[in-house]
Amino acid sequence: MKTSFLKQINLPKDLRLLNQEDLPHLAKELRDFIIDIVATKEGHLGASLGVVELTIALHYVFNTPNDELIWDVGHQAYGHKILTGRKEIFDTNRQLNGISGFPKRGESEYDSFGVGHSSTSISAALGMAIASQLNGEDKHHIAVIGDASIASGMAFEGLNHAGVTNANLLVILNDNAIGIDPSVGALKQYLTNVKKGTEKQDNIFEALNFNYSGPIDGHDLPTLISELKRLKTIKGPKFLHIITTKGKGLRQAEENQVKYHAPGKFDAKTGELVTKHNSDQETPKYQDVFGETIVELALKNEKIVGITPAMPTGSSLKYMMETIPNRAFDVGIAEQHAVTLAAGMATQGLIPFCNIYSTFLQRAYDQVIHDVALQKLPVIFCLDRAGLVGEDGATHHGVFDLAYLNCIPNLVIFAPRNAIALRHIMYTVQLGIDFPIAIRYPRGRGHLIDWKRPFEKIEIGKGVCLSEGESVAVLSVGTIAHSIENAIKEIDTEHNVGHYDMQFIKPLDQTLLHNVFQHYDAIITVEDGTIIGGFGSSILAFANANNYSQKIVTLGIEDQFVEHGTTEQLNKLQHLDVVSLKKEIEQLLFSLNDSHF
């Protein structure tokens, strides 16, 4: 029976007691451990499998946590977590009250920097390295970044600054030619040429004053360890280029790297995906409603173009890229560029649909304000993954968009309550608008099977009465309307509760609001965004401006960063599930009845 080295390791100090010749066996154990747990618990598989040898080598050579190790994005940090004290609780990864799927400073001293969005590692590591110099500390700072992330503007900003310092910084480029989707752009081609030995230009990283080495095989532990030991002796900014295979060690993950980035449940022995059998399979994902609709519209309207920053599969813009490739653009991990590219296109009469995850649009806030809204350019932002997204947690929830967009002049904000409304608003805006608009919709499936209906034009700034009542009016935006409808059905036998889908957070339908405030005794607003600054805040401001004195209850995301868990669990914790909504409505009805006596 072979010795289990992984069982002996609780912290990196235990790892450093192993003989170097035992490390390849440890790598196999670590891979098997990750595969076995992710197969049943789900998570980000391919990236972590690809850096098993690198993870072992880094903790073997460097004195972590004193030496600072920063993983860019964090999709690849599962092995790191297992080797740094979280092996016994790794099965709680991404689950409610369990460990985070990403490095998190509050979780472990080995997680030097919290990550989730890409391209931050070089800047963070450089900041730490400069601070160490100022504090008179002699330690190492390592940033591990992928070939997709390093093409982002922020990564170049970090490289540019680091190159004119003498900071003790090591940047490791984990080059596997893929992020979530295959990497794109001129830098990808440059790195491909470097790997082939055909690049005759000056080395771009040496030109930025880095001591460059590589490319080397990122799965060759002896070579990795030898090179890392050598680099420890060199002062100043250093750059190590390693070549890895995403999904290494699981055949299906190597062959289908996009699918196995985060594959869901699969058979740990065979690697085959576990097929889900439920009625939800008959309803489309909102991303697919977008993807199919933009193709349908673009085939008839040659002015339509599609843009996504590195998320063609996740956003389903891949449908347009396959059907009309010359009008669909994956610009890489470059949200700022995506927004201003769309603005430039809009000035020339094109109709840009700029599809960005809600949480990632935060990275391009200045461009939304300065390059689009200030100039009143008709860019159509389609914000996928709005609201609570589930297990990816605080870095990925799209709960701030309503608030951070609400204050921007000229910008229209629309939240469809179902797939039909998403389809209709996309049709409406491509007919011609003279303002920018943000259309935000959630991750996952809707509730309608029969969604592909003939297009209808939506009147900008108009809400919809879903049901009339007498005493309490519920005002909602977005797909949470479905939960509200179910809550009302369970309690309202006397038709005391009215429900209005406002559709537009901005501009508000003031005619409808005046009618509501003149006929109802109390108002509840519901949104899957932050209460502060969002839809509910706008309703409170409307009531105040018009001297309405009814009781107004605002429901939404509390003033906190929401952690990870299933969307059902998180909605319950935020009191946005059907049971909680029912309770809120009942309490308000009771207080009204009580005040009448």
Q: Give the class (CATH, top level) of 283-442.
A: alpha beta
The domain segmentation of the chain, as residue ranges, is: 50-245, 283-442, 464-595
What does DSSP say about strands 437-442 and 211-217: parallel, antiparallel, or unpaired? Answer: unpaired
Distances (CA, A) of 60 to 6, 77, 90, 96, 354: 14, 16, 21, 32, 44
Options 42, 335, 485, 584, the catalytic residue: 335
Using CA atoms, how far apart are residues 464 and 538, in angstroms rounded to an integer?
17
Q: Which fold has domain 464-595?
A: Rossmann fold (3.40.50)
What does DSSP say about strands 169-175 and 141-146: parallel, antiparallel, or unpaired? Answer: parallel
pLDDT in tens, the chain (597 residues): 477 999 999 999 999 999 999 999 999 999 999 999 998 888 888 889 999 999 999 999 999 999 999 999 888 999 999 999 999 999 999 999 999 999 999 999 999 999 988 999 999 999 999 999 999 999 999 999 998 899 999 999 999 999 999 999 999 999 988 777 778 888 888 888 887 777 676 789 999 999 999 999 999 999 999 999 999 999 999 999 999 999 887 888 888 888 888 888 888 888 888 876 555 557 999 999 999 999 999 999 999 999 999 999 999 999 999 999 999 999 999 999 999 999 999 999 999 999 999 999 999 999 999 999 999 999 999 999 999 999 999 999 999 999 999 999 999 999 999 999 999 999 999 999 999 999 999 999 999 889 999 999 999 999 999 999 999 999 999 999 999 999 999 986 677 999 999 999 999 999 999 999 999 999 999 999 999 999 999 999 999 999 999 999 999 999 999 999 999 999 999 999 999 999 999 999 988 877 654
Give, in degrees to the nearest 5, the angle at Cα 296 between 293 and 300. 135
3-class state of residue 221 by DSSP: helix
Options 363, 443, 445, 582, the catalytic residue: 363
| CA atoms lying within 13 Å on the CB side of residue 423 | 20
Q: Give the class (CATH, top level) of 50-245.
A: alpha beta
Give strand pairing partners of 522: 472, 551
pLDDT at 250: 86
pLDDT at 288: 96
Using CA atoms, how far apart are residues 175 and 167, in angstroms rounded to an integer?
24
Long-range Cβ contact pairs of 9-14 (< 8 A, separation 24 or more): 9/83, 9/87, 10/85, 10/87, 11/83, 11/84, 11/85, 12/59, 12/60, 12/64, 12/83, 12/84, 12/110
pLDDT at 597: 43
Based on the residue annotation, tell me whether 363 is a catalytic residue of this protein.
Answer: yes
Using CA atoms, how far apart are residues 449 and 591, in angstroms rounded to an integer?
39
Based on the residue annotation, tell me whether 335 is a catalytic residue of this protein.
Answer: yes
Check for a shared fold between 283-442 and 464-595: yes
Using CA atoms, how far apart are residues 353 and 317, in angstroms rounded to an integer?
10
Model's pTM, two decimal places?
0.92
Based on the residue annotation, tell me whether 453 is a catalytic residue of this protein.
Answer: no
Options 246, 423, 445, 582, the catalytic residue: 246
